[in-house]
């Protein structure tokens, strides 16, 4: 297991994960990461941390995985669990309250707990619009904060119409979050308008959706991605016309196999992933099942020439 950072990925940066099976009161992301690390170690995983992988290279029968400091390991199969990077909002108090009222990446499991509460969404894209409409089914009031003067340039018309038709969703253009405060969980936001004026507002939750991107730029072009850089797997590979000349095996790709045999994708980096801890863990289990199938199906196949 090679990771550019420490163990834990995004989940490790969450102060409280509320929707992972088996932890009814939630669990700190750091603790989940530590437990997972120990468990994987006991099952025989060896970790190389702070090793950013910069290249995958074909070998006669396998793949070389090269990290930034020049170290290469060779493998018959590789699982890419590269995640995504959420753009962070920088304002005093936000980092301390992450997971305790302040959420990145639409932790929609929180929605029901927000019944009757005021909720704020930051972002002007479709994911922010969808989150606001979902939250509005539970929250008393949902306020979408956007820095631009309107949503028109960044959100699909159908979502703008739906927002306009939902009485408890309000859009505040030209507004940003200046600070967040709360004793253990978010209680108040300070909003700043385009003229620099500030206003304190009560808030039970702040959902920040200002963009996420997969970290896949460095991968070889043979590994097909969608328009946003997410990795195609399984049936999506064959459905993509670019793979017509590329997929050379008789069998179709395994469910989590990318367009390169023996290279698999799991978690948030996969196109249409659910972007949840449980989803990433499930993908991990499935990817490993695929790896076993690959090793029995293709005892000798290498990267297609
Ligand atoms: C603040 C926050 C709170 C969240 N809260 C929840 C929650 O409450 N419930 C929930 O279900 N989900 C939550 N999520 C989402 C959840 O954490 C992710 O869905 C999950 O972590 C995805 O796991 P992953 O393994 O696919 O990717 P990641 O967790 O993103 O891990 C990817 C790993 O790959 C490494 N990496 C990337 N590129 C390279 C490279 N080139 N070389 C080496 N290593 C590399 C990164 O360092 C990282 O450790 C939250 C996310 C955030 C950011």
| Shared domain check, 226 and 289 | yes
C-alpha to C-alpha distance for 93 and 220, rounded to whole angstroms: 40
Whole-number pLDDT of residue 109: 60
C-alpha to C-alpha distance for 86 and 118, rounded to whole angstroms: 24
Query: CB under 8 Å to 222, separation ≥6 — which residues?
Result: 246, 259, 260, 303, 304
pLDDT at 61 over 90: no
Q: Average of pLDDT values for 239-246?
A: 85
**CA 239–ligand 1 middle distance (angstroms):** 27
CATH number where 172 lies: 3.50.50.60
Q: Average of pLDDT values for 35-51?
A: 95
| Shared domain check, 188 and 163 | yes
Q: What is the residue with the minimal CA distance to atom 10 of ligand 1?
A: 276
Q: How far is CA 36 from the centre of its chain?
A: 18
Domain residue limits at 243: 9-84+212-297
Residue 49 within a domain: yes
* Range in 75-79, 101-105, 251-255, 268-272 with the lowest mean pLDDT: 101-105
**CA 84–ligand 1 middle distance (angstroms):** 6
Per-residue pLDDT tens over the stretch 165-215? 999 999 999 999 999 999 999 999 999 999 999 999 999 999 999 988 899
pLDDT at 151 over 60: yes
Q: Could you tell me if the CB of 127 is within 6 A of ligand 1?
A: no
**CA 187–ligand 1 middle distance (angstroms):** 27
Predicted TM-score (pTM) of this structure: 0.77
Q: Could you tell me if the CB of 79 is within 6 A of ligand 1?
A: no
| Shared domain check, 292 and 216 | yes
Residue 305 within a domain: no
Say how many domains are in the chain. 2
Residue 1 within a domain: no
From 12, 20, 82, the mutation candidate for ligand 1 (largest count of ligand atoms within 8 A of CB) is: 82
Answer with the one of 135, 163, 195 that is the final residue of a domain: 195
* Range in 24-28, 148-152, 219-223, 243-247 with the lowest mean pLDDT: 243-247
Kindly list the distances between the CA atom of residue 108 and the CA atoms of 18, 112, 276, in Å, as whole numbers in the listed order: 10, 8, 10
Report the atom number in ligand 1 closest to the C-alpha of 54: 41
Whole-number pLDDT of residue 305: 45
Query: CB under 8 Å to 294, separation ≥6 — which residues?
Result: 76, 77, 254, 257, 261, 262, 264
| Shared domain check, 292 and 240 | yes
**CA 9–ligand 1 middle distance (angstroms):** 4
pLDDT at 107 over 70: no
Predicted confidence band of residue 298 (pLDDT cuts 50, 70, 90): confident
Q: Could you tell me if the CB of 86 is within 6 A of ligand 1?
A: yes
Whole-number pLDDT of residue 1: 95
| Shared domain check, 182 and 122 | yes
Residue 183 within a domain: yes
Per-residue pLDDT tens over the stretch 117-141? 999 999 998 889 988 998 999 999 9
Better-scored residue on pLDDT, 61 or 84: 84
Residue 249 within a domain: yes
pLDDT over 90, % of the chain: 72
Taking CA 209 as the corner, what is the angle to CA 170 and CA 190, rounded to the nearest 5 degrees? 60
Residue 44 within a domain: yes
Whole-number pLDDT of residue 204: 96
Inter-residue contact 103 to 205 (CB < 8 Å): yes
Q: Could you tell me if the CB of 219 is within 6 A of ligand 1?
A: no
Q: Of 151, 189, 193, 194, which is closest to residue 170 (Cα–Cα)?
A: 151
pLDDT at 90 over 50: yes
Whole-number pLDDT of residue 166: 97
Order the strands of the 205-208 sheet from edge to edge. Answer: 102-104, 205-208, 118-122, 141-145, 169-172
Q: Could you tell me if the CB of 27 is within 6 A of ligand 1?
A: no
**CA 196–ligand 1 middle distance (angstroms):** 35
Question: Phi/psi zone of residue 135: left (φ > 0), alpha (ψ -120 to 50 degrees), beta?
Answer: alpha
| Shared domain check, 221 and 157 | no
Q: What is the residue with the minimal CA distance to atom 49 of ligand 1?
A: 9
Whole-number pLDDT of residue 212: 85
Mean pLDDT, all residues of the chain: 91
Per-residue pLDDT tens over the stretch 72-88? 999 999 999 999 988 88
Whole-number pLDDT of residue 290: 97
pLDDT at 57 over 60: yes
Answer with the one of 135, 165, 195 that is the final residue of a domain: 195
The torsion of the CA quartet 35, 36, 40, 42, rounded to 10 degrees, works out to 10
Residue 118 within a domain: yes
Q: Could you tell me if the CB of 172 is within 6 A of ligand 1?
A: no
Inter-residue contact 130 to 160 (CB < 8 Å): no
Whole-number pLDDT of residue 238: 93
């Amino acid at each position: 297991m090679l990771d550019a950072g420490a163990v834990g990925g995004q989940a490790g940066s969450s102060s409280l994960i509320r929707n992972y099976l088996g932890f009814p009161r939630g669990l700190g992301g750091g603790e989940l990461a530590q437990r997972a690390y120990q468990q994987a170690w006991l099952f025989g995983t060896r970790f190389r941390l702070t090793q950013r992988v910069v290249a995958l290279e074909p070998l006669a029968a396998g793949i070389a995985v090269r990290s930034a400091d020049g170290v290469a390991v060779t493998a018959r199969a590789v699982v890419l669990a590269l995640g995504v990077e959420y753009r962070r909002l920088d304002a005093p108090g936000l980092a301390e309250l992450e997971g305790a009222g302040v959420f990145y990446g639409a932790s929609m499991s929180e929605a029901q707990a927000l019944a009757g509460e005021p909720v704020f969404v930051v972002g002007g894209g479709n994911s922010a619009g969808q989150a606001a409409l979902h939250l509005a089914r539970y929250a008393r009031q949902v306020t979408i904060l956007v820095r631009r003067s309107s949503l028109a340039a960044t959100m699909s018309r159908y979502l703008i119409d739906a927002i306009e038709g939902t009485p408890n969703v309000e859009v505040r253009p030209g507004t940003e979050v200046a600070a967040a405060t709360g004793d253990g969980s978010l209680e108040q936001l300070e909003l700043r308008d385009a003229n620099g004026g500030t206003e304190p507002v009560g808030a039970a939750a702040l959902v920040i959706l200002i963009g996420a991107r997969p970290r896949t730029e460095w991968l070889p072009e043979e590994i097909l991605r969608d328009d946003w850089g997410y990795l195609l797997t399984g049936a999506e590979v064959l459905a993509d016309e670019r793979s017509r000349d590329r997929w050379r095996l008789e069998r179709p790709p395994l469910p989590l196999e990318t367009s390169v045999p023996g290279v698999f994708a799991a978690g948030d980096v996969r196109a249409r992933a659910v972007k949840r801890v449980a989803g990433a863990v499930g993908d991990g289990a499935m990817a490993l099942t695929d790896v076993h199938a690959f090793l029995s199906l293709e005892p000798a196949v290498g990267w297609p020439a």
